[in-house]
Amino acid sequence: MKISIIGAGLIGGSMALKLKEKGIASFIYGIDNNKQHIDEALELKIIDAGVDLEQGVKNAELIILAIPVDAARKLLPGVLDLISDHQTVMDAGSTKAGIVHAVKDHPKRSRFVAFHPMWGTENNGPKSAIAESFAGKAGVICNKEESAEDALNLVEKIVNALDMHMIYMDAEDHDIHTAYISHISHITSYALANTVLEKEREEETIFQLASSGFSSTVRLAKSHPEMWVPIFKQNKENVLDVLNEHITQLRKFKSALEKENYEYLEELITNANRIRGILR
């Protein structure tokens, strides 16, 4: 199968490597505004050719949008304009409602399958791509009833080839849940990193004293704004909802310390420990 990947970075590159490894992709076209990404992807044999959008869409059976969600939302209608009734388009965005809404009335809406691979790192670019990235992770397909049966079947084949476990969700529900289990984690990490940088002026001290716990907590703060600002923008209402709850929880810890109410502090920590039974 010939596949075009729009966005030859971390996600698109990792998908390309795995689909080649599994024999799903016989030829992969790479489309990216960043020429360095195309050059690196060619050098690493992630893609077989770098092409422009029209050529890539014309020659592929499957087109994968692996670009920031605001760019995907703008580009998707134009991609659907270019395809035939026998081609399939999927995305890999971290928010789904906005993208689905952008093409809800498009005459070729049924050729699109909304998809979110629940994996990512703080790194970017094709040099960060890893074939086994998605193994064991959740692959979420949204609003499957709006996609043609053959298009859905093809994307399900792709998800299985990535070794992911499939989940079907409504796009609105997806965005609510990802705000709680993904998006708030990034905001918290950014905020903590800014707190430490503001209060601890000695960079060498941060480096020398940073524990594994601190490093893992702020790891997400290394994630790039060009990806995450659009996610927060597209999912603003849900992110604000969870952020308000998070601020409430922080205030509880602050109040317990201010009032030297250590029994309440213990209650808060004990309650948080319940997460152990969920995330085993």
Give dist(CA 36, CA 112) in Å, integer. Answer: 29
Indicate the SS3 state at residue 55: helix
Q: What is the pLDDT of residues 11-59, one digit of tens each?
A: 999 999 999 999 999 999 999 999 999 999 999 999 999 999 999 999 9
Distance between CA atoms of 243 and 249, rounded to whole angstroms?
10
Tell me which H or E stretch contains 81. helix 69-82
Co-location of 158 and 209 in the same domain: no
Q: Are 103 and 79 in contact (CB under 8 A)?
A: no
- Give the model's pLDDT for residue 119: 84
- Percent pLDDT > 70 in the chain is 94
Of the two residues 269 and 201, the one the predictor is more confident about is 269
Question: pLDDT at position 216, please?
Answer: 72
Burial of 202 (0-12, 13-18, 19+ CB in 10 A): exposed
Residue 114 and residue 79 share a domain = yes
Q: What is the CATH number of the domain that holds 88?
A: 3.40.50.720
Same domain? For 150 and 187 the reply is no
Question: pLDDT tens for residues 187-243?
Answer: 999 998 898 888 766 666 666 666 666 677 778 888 888 889 999 999 999 999 999
Greatest alpha-carbon span in the chain: 67
For residue 218, give the CATH number of its domain. Answer: 1.10.3660.10
Same domain, 225 and 148: no
The Cα–Cα gap between 55 and 50 comes to: 10
CA distances from 212 to 144, 192, 208, 217 (A): 41, 15, 11, 8
| The last residue of a domain, from among 170, 203, 235 | 170
pLDDT, tens digit, 9 for 90 and up, residues 170-180: 999 999 999 99
State the residue range of the domain holding 267: 174-277
89 shares a domain with 37: yes
Task: Give 80's pLDDT tier (boundaries 50, 70, 90).
Answer: very high
Enter the DSSP assignment of 164: P
Higher pLDDT, 193 or 61: 61
